[in-house]
């Protein structure tokens, strides 16, 4: 005998997963705004900048923005790698050349 599928439960589970993914995306976008320093802008200015970016049709401008964004994420990745090494600066090695007389 075939097992009966509970379509309502499956739809509820999918809806819950979609809500969780949307909430995660909103959280990540908020973190991006804060990480770039754009949270210092007032909301009208930030909205205007984003609307201008969405409306931009110039491929060269979009490519320049993409390159700037890629560089931003690479800098953040390097900073994260550097801080993963224990979080403390290493002690300088005493070579004897900086002795005072």
Tens digits of per-residue pLDDT, 51-88? 999 999 999 999 999 999 999 999 988 888 887 655 54
Residue 5 gets which letter from DSSP?
A: P
Cα(11)–Cα(17) distance, integer angstroms: 10
> Of all helices (H) and strands (E), which one includes residue 60?
helix 59-83
Q: Which residues contact 49 (CB under 8 A, 6 or more apart)?
A: 38, 41
Confidence of residue 20 (pLDDT cuts 50, 70, 90): very high
Task: Number of helices (H) and strands (E) in the chain: give both, helices first.
Answer: 3, 0
> Does residue 19 or residue 100 have the better pLDDT?
19
Burial grade of 25 (CB within 10 A; 0-12, 13-18, 19 or more): exposed
**Region 29-58 average pLDDT:** 96
Percent of the chain surpassing pLDDT 70 = 82
Evaluate if residue 99 carries a pLDDT over 60. Answer: no
């Amino acid at each position: 005998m075939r097992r009966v599928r509970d379509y309502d439960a499956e739809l509820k589970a999918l809806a819950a997963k979609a809500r969780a993914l949307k909430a995660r995306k909103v959280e990540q976008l908020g973190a991006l705004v804060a990480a770039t320093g754009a949270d210092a802008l007032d909301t009208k200015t930030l909205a205007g900048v984003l609307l201008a970016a969405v409306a931009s049709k110039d491929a060269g401008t979009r490519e320049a923005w993409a390159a700037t964004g890629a560089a931003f994420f690479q800098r953040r990745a390097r900073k994260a790698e550097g801080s993963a090494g224990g979080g403390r600066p290493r002690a300088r090695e005493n070579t004897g050349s900086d002795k005072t007389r």
